Each structure stands twice: as structure tokens, then as C-alpha cells.
Structure 1
Amino acid sequence: MRFLGALAFLIFAFMAAHAGDWWTYRNDRFGATADVPVGWRMGEGPENDDGRAFTSPDGRASVTVSGSYAVLPRFQEVEIITKPGAGETVDYKRQGRDWIVASGRKGDRIFYRKSLLSCGGTVWNSVYLDYPAAEKAAFHPIVAHVAGSLRGGKGYGTGNCR
């Protein structure tokens, strides 16, 4: 039975990773924009309207697209974004002039975080993915697509950002 569940998930992941099986979410407050697989359920919006979480049809994986103000000096922001949380081990982290990526494990799960600095260095636009480590190969195309689609933009909380 476990095999059939894994097989069904692999088929779903394969199908979701192909063009046309995505829709674009844009956060109105911070302009954070990224693609999300079709069929993933959007959760309730938080009171501060900083983004949304999306859950896979089987409930075992999630994608969060969000934005936040860059309020600390850049080196402190980078440290916060890449620092392991409770129970996490960071296996991979990279940064460029205006982006940061951190990935690792928390128990039997993998997390992936990517943040882009936008609006003249005033806003972080981010995606966060969480999924079972045992299904890393199936999720790789989903992570690559979501992370590659992340971009910043104008929102009602970004002032004159273009």
C-alpha cells in the first residue's frame, strides 16, 4: 500500500512539474510573486497580509510565498534567513548581491528557503518549501520551478518600488 501511495505521488509530482500545470500567486502587500503547482490548496491569509501558504493535495508538502520589510543591516538579515531554526540542519547556503538560498533537513523533512532583496533594498520577497526527504527526487523539479519563478514587484506596502 505504501508503494502505491509513493507511486501516485511521483506521478502527481511529475505532472505538476511540467509547463501549464502552474499558476502564479502575487502578494498584494509586498509584490512577492512565484508559481505554485495547480491543485495545491491556498491557506487562509495572515492578518498582516504578508503572503500565503499552499499545501499539496496529499497534505504532505507546502510552499509559502511571502514578503517582509528589510529592517536590519544586510549581514544580520542574511544571518537570520540562513540560520538553522529549531531542529534544523542547514546543508546548503549561497548568496549573491541581492539573493539568499538556504536548504537542509528538519527530521525526515527537507526545507528550502530563497529570498530576493527588491525595491531598492527595502523588501525581501521569499519562498519556503517543505517536503518529505524520502521524496527528494520527486520534489526537485517543483523546487527548481518555484525558486526560479520568484520575483519581486510593486505592492501596496512597497511605496514607489517598481
Structure 2
Amino acid sequence: MLRSLTALTLLLSSALSAAAADDWISYANARFGYVLDIPPGFELQSQGDNGDGASFQANDNGATLSVFGSTLLDGDFETDVNERIGVERDGSWRIAYSRVTAAWASFSGVRGEEVFYTRAIALCDGSAAYFRLQYRKSRLTSFDGVISRMAEALRPSEGCQHPPIAAVAGEAPN
């Protein structure tokens, strides 16, 4: 009986997890040519007038999500990312983690009771795609899975003819 109950519980939790995964929506940006999965509960707040991205907010927990593309000055992805890290530092964020490669970057920071995580990928034609998720420090562990999925889902659109250099095998993407 206990085995049957355990098996049923596992089956139901798997089904619920699969259903929850279906609540994610795909955001595609035609101007810069990137795609990102947006987590359940995040509602569109605004879109950039120039078509570079959008802002979302989760009303149940106060988290905010910015998704945007950027034209790279001189086509240098790593310089663009490092400049953005500097802007975060100038905004009184303590950078807790950063990893910058020629193809992707991830960095996060802490300021008071707030945390942010940013992921970026190099795109074709000298541009990049970013997302920045900001949330309360008390929700840190609840966003781990969300961030992992989003980091994996941020990708160039299918029209990208020259995808960026892939991360070295075995390296964590975030």
C-alpha cells in the first residue's frame, strides 16, 4: 500500500511539474533576433518604443524582469557585458558572481534585501540579448530553477546564420 501511495504521489508531482512548465510563455524579439521563455506569473508591463525589449512584473512576489537587445559598440560582446557590470556597481550593487565568455555571460549582485541575476548571449551581426531578473533575497532559492531554465532558454532566433561560439563543454551556463 505504501509503495502504491508513493508511486501515485510521484506520478502526480511529475504531472503537476509538467503542467507548470506549460505555463511558461515564449517571448521573441524580431529586431535583435532572440527568444526567451518567460516564467508563469510574470505579466507584460511595457515594451520598448524602439523594439529592443520588454519589461515584466510578477505581482505575487514583486520580482521584475527586463528583456532587451543591444547593439555592441565595435561588435565586442565581452566589453559590453563588462560595462554593464560596471553600471551595476555604480548603482551600489555588490557583484556576487560573474562569468564572461565570448559567447555568453552571467552575473549577479546584491543590494540590501534585493538580488539580481543577468544573463547575456552574443547574437549575430554584432548584437547581444540580455535578461535581468530582480527579486527579494528571501526568495533566492525559489528562483534557482527559474533562472536555470531562463538561462538555458535565452537563444538566438532561427534566422541567426552565424551562431556565437558555444560555451566550453562542462562549463555551467550560469
Aligned to 1:152: 156
Alpha-carbon distance between aligned partners in 2 of 1:17 and 1:104, rounded to the nearest angstrom: 32
Is residue 2:25 matched to residue 1:23?
yes
State the partner residue of 1:36. 38
DSSP-derived class of the 1:144 partner: helix
1:76 equivalent to 2:79? Answer: yes
Match of 1:127 in 2: 131
Give the Å deviation of 1:58: 2.0
In structure 2, the residue matched to 1:98 is: 103
- Could you say which structure has the greater relative contact order, defined with CA pairs below 8 angstroms and 6 or more residues apart? 1
- Percent identity, please: 27
Structure 1 residue 76: Cα displacement = 2.8
Q: Which of the two has higher C-alpha Rg?
A: 2
Aligned to 1:7: none
TM-score (norm 1): 0.78
Q: Residues of 2 paired with 1:101 and 1:111: CA distance?
A: 11
Give the alignment's Cα RMSD to 1 decimal: 2.4
Match of 1:118 in 2: 123
The alpha-carbon distance between structure 1 residues 138 and 86, as it changes in their structure 2 partners (threshold 3 A), is same
In the comparison of the two structures, how many residue pairs are matched?
143
**1:25-64 alignment runs, 5 A limit:** 25-58=27-60, 60-64=62-66
**8 A Cα contact 2:33 2:160, kept in partner:** no
CA shift, 1:126, in A, is 0.8
Residue of structure 1 in register with 2:9 after alignment: none
Q: Which has the higher helix share?
A: 2
Scaled by the length of structure 2, the TM-score of the pair is: 0.73
| Moved >4 Å (runs of 4+) | 14-18
Counterparts of 1:20 and 1:151, CA distance in 2: 19
Structure 1 counterpart of 2:97, one-letter code = Y
The 1:87–1:148 alpha-carbon spacing in structure 2 relative to 1, beyond 3 Å, is same
